[in-house]
Amino acid sequence: MEQYIYFVKHLLPKHPAVEREAIDHLGEREQVFEKIKPYAKKLKIDTKGKQQFDVIELLSYILDNDEFKALRDHITEHNKKEDEELQALSKWKWMVAGGVVVMAWIVSNIRLDYLVKLFN
């Protein structure tokens, strides 16, 4: 903590504004890299002992690879197909629910002896 206070009070005011912006940029870059690390781990990229640039370059190469693009396209098509199927099932669900409501109304509002005559 003492080193940080010394840096802020004595060294930082001596740096020109451009260098302070560069220091801020490095801090932001570190935060972004921390957000990228979980994705790199999911893709089995070792981040320990490697430069940030190397990890980002490797990650970019993997994500731009044709196999990944084909996989992404396939997943997108699959999701669209599943969505259409779910919408069709939803339509049927509401038709069946409407039929149940109509049948319940008929059973509750029409006398039983009329229903027996109707179905015999």
Residue 115 covered by a domain? no
Measured CA to CA, the distance from residue 23 to residue 85 in angstroms comes to 53
Contact 47, 37 (CB under 8 A): yes
Residue 102 covered by a domain? no
pTM above 0.85, yes or no: no
Number of domains, the chain: 1
Residue 32's alpha-carbon distances to 8, 27, 36, 39, in angstroms, are 24, 9, 6, 12
Residue 104 covered by a domain? no
Taking residues 75-100, what's their average pLDDT? 92
- Considering just the CA atoms, what is the radius of gyration of the chain in Å? 33
Answer yes or no: is pLDDT of 98 > 80.
yes
pLDDT of residue 78: 94
* Domain region containing 50: 2-92
Answer yes or no: is pLDDT of 84 > 90.
yes
Q: Give the closest residue to 36 by CA, choosing from 26, 27, 47.
A: 47
Residue 107 covered by a domain? no
pLDDT of residue 29: 76
Residue 98 covered by a domain? no
Question: What is the percentage of the chain residues whose pLDDT exceeds 90?
Answer: 17
Task: Please give the structure tokens belonging to residue 13.
Answer: 């005011």
DSSP state of 16: -
Residue 65, CA atoms < 13 Å, CB-side half-sphere: 10
CB atoms within 10 A of CB 28: 9
Measured CA to CA, the distance from residue 73 to residue 68 in angstroms comes to 9
pLDDT of residue 20: 64
The pLDDT tens digits of the residues spanning 15-70 come to 666 566 766 767 777 887 788 788 778 777 777 777 777 777 877 777 777 777 88
